[in-house]
Structure 1
Amino acid sequence: MVMDPVCGMEVSETSKFKTMYKGKVYYFCGPGCKREFEKDPEGYLKSGPKGMPDM
């Protein structure tokens, strides 16, 4: 299990919601978290999970 960098939820590495950033794959619980991360990846990587995004 890995942590969704947006909401902090534990997700499986088999999640279909994933993206690559700077050579590393990040996994998400759903499409909303994936979209939010892709808008500001550095923000989430520097300050950590911020909870579920408003969808």
Structure 2
Amino acid sequence: MVKDPVCDMEVDPEEAPAKAEYEGETYYFCAPGCKRKFEKNPEEYV
């Protein structure tokens, strides 16, 4: 399990509904909305 960087929810990387790459790291999200927030300002969440 990993934490969604936007909402801190626990996410299973194998079943995450959304993911994004940023500076060579893969981030997993509980929902597409969290991914969109992350992509607007990734520095706020890393």
TM-score tier after normalising by the smaller chain length: over 0.9
5+ residue gaps in structure 2? none
Letter in structure 2 aligned against 1:7:
C
Query: Could you say which structure has the larger radius of gyration?
Result: 1
The share of aligned pairs that are identical, in percent, is: 60
Could you tell me the TM-score, scaled by structure 2's length?
Answer: 0.92
Following TM superposition, by how much is the alpha carbon of 1:16 offset from its aligned partner in structure 2, in angstroms? 3.3
Kindly tell me the number of residue pairs found equivalent between the two proteins: 45
**CA-atom RMSD, angstroms?**
0.7
SS at match of 2:37: helix
Match of 2:38 in 1: 37
The structure in which a higher percent of residues are strand is 2
5+ residue gaps in structure 1? 46-55
1:13 and 2:23 correspond: no
